[in-house]
Amino acid sequence: MGTFIKSGDELIQFLILIILILTAIVLLFIVLNMYNVIYRIIGEKEGKTIERFSFKKWWERESGTDVPVEKEETILLHHNYDGIQELDNHLPPWWVKMFYATIAFSVIYLGLYHVWNITPLQDEEYQIAMDEAKKEVELYQSKMANTIDEKTVKLLVDDSKTVSSGKDIYIAKCVACHGQAGEGGVGPNLTDEYWLHGGSINDIFKTIKYGVPEKGMIAWQATMKPNEIQSVSNYILSIKGTNPANAKAPQGEKFTEGTDSTAAKPVENL
Ligand code: HEC
């Protein structure tokens, strides 16, 4: 669907509008026919011929009576500019009616938009549309956030927003065991190249999500949303190689980029 019709709802609204317009046209014909029938009956009763409604006659009436060329003298205005003269023709009735209709429309428009403020102006409409879009984006993101798992987690170490929100989570929940700078404590050093449970983004996500309960690492899936686990996993990878003071000795196996715990081990570890 194009830019005009954006959703199924709008398509239905559009179809309803078309059906309404068609119904209105059909009703108009029915009413005109009834008018003709009723007037014929009344006419017959009273012995008069009452003019039937016809579009042709109606249009002749609306388009006005042009003064025939022979009688133009009667409507010729008196001024004369180098031989150019003006006829005082009447405006066609349909035109005059449209003109009054535009005046009526402008009054209604002014009232709706500027006096009673019933309908939103362009700026407000823009704001309303933006607010709706924002809600849709939030809904989409929260849906997406909950679908992140150890297979779909993304490496976003270069995304400062992800890393900084990951850092906030780390400071709040992980410092007690892994140290202020990830140097390690009760838990292992998270800044070196050695990992007990693998050092890929997928491995780290998995360790944080399910924990290692028997060794004292909490399973965070009950208290953290998947996108929060993703953020803190990326924060951990962002502090790799920072060599903090009082670093805990390496534990586990050296992890080389491009491998994970389920892949073949690097040659140096064989
Ligand atoms: C109560 C202490 C404690 C807390 C709090 C804690 N951890 Fe751990 N963490 C550990 C321990 C202990 C291990 C080592 C588990 C093992 O020996 O298998 C560990 C292991 C890890 C590992 C795997 C390291 C490796 O070498 O494979 C990661 C990653 C990790 N934690 C991240 C976190 C994050 C992120 C948080 C905060 C959300 C956190 N931990 C909070 C105790 C903790």
Q: What are phi and psi of 253, to 5 degrees?
A: -110, 150
Q: What are phi and psi of 255, to 5 degrees?
A: -110, 130
Regarding the beta carbon of 208 and ligand 1, being less than 6 Å apart is answered: yes
With H, G, I as helix, E, B as strand and everything else as coil, classify residue 239.
coil
Best residue among 195, 207, 215, 217 to mutate for probing ligand 1, ranked by most atoms within 8 Å of CB: 217
Interval 79-120: pLDDT, tens:
999 999 998 888 889 999 999 999 999 999 999 999 998 889
Q: Are 54 and 33 in contact (CB under 8 A)?
A: no
Pairing of strands 194-195, 253-254: antiparallel
Beta bridge partners of 223: none
CA of 217 to the centre of ligand 1 (A): 5
For ligand 1, atom 3, name the residue with the nearest CA.
Answer: 177
Regarding the beta carbon of 232 and ligand 1, being less than 6 Å apart is answered: yes
CA of 12 to the centre of ligand 1 (A): 54
Regarding the beta carbon of 207 and ligand 1, being less than 6 Å apart is answered: yes
Q: Are 195 and 203 in contact (CB under 8 A)?
A: yes
CA of 251 to the centre of ligand 1 (A): 12
Regarding the beta carbon of 67 and ligand 1, being less than 6 Å apart is answered: no
At 265, is the pLDDT very low, low, confident or very high (cuts 50, 70, 90)? very low
User: What is the C-alpha to C-alpha distance for residues 90 and 75, in angstroms, rounded to an integer?
Assistant: 10
Mean pLDDT computed over 54-61: 84
pLDDT of 59 over the 90 cut: no
Please give the pLDDT value at position 56.
Answer: 85
Cα separations in angstroms, 124 against 111, 115, 148, 168, 181: 17, 15, 36, 36, 48
Q: Domain-by-domain residue ranges, the chain? A: 7-53, 160-263
pLDDT of 1 over the 80 cut: no
Pairing of strands 84-87, 194-195: unpaired
Cα separations in angstroms, 100 against 61, 106, 113: 17, 10, 20
Task: Note the residue count of the chain.
Answer: 270
Regarding the beta carbon of 187 and ligand 1, being less than 6 Å apart is answered: yes
Regarding the beta carbon of 200 and ligand 1, being less than 6 Å apart is answered: no
With H, G, I as helix, E, B as strand and everything else as coil, classify residue 87.
strand
For ligand 1, atom 2, name the residue with the nearest CA.
Answer: 177
For ligand 1, atom 16, name the residue with the nearest CA.
Answer: 215
Please give the pLDDT value at position 38.
Answer: 84
CA of 186 to the centre of ligand 1 (A): 8
Q: What is the DSSP string of 95-126?
A: HHHHHHHHHHHHHHHHIIIIIS--S--HHHHH
Please give the pLDDT value at position 226.
Answer: 92
Q: What percent of the chain has pLDDT over 70?
A: 92
With H, G, I as helix, E, B as strand and everything else as coil, classify residue 253.
strand
Domain 160-263 sits in which CATH superfamily?
Answer: Cytochrome c-like domain (1.10.760.10)
Interval 128-175: pLDDT, tens:
999 999 999 989 888 877 789 999 999 999 999 999 999 999 999 999
Cα separations in angstroms, 133 against 137, 138, 164: 6, 9, 26
Best residue among 169, 177, 194, 205 to mutate for probing ligand 1, ranked by most atoms within 8 Å of CB: 177
Interval 214-263: pLDDT, tens:
999 999 999 999 999 999 999 999 999 999 999 999 999 999 876 554 44
User: What is the C-alpha to C-alpha distance for residues 267 and 249, in angstroms, rounded to an integer?
Assistant: 22
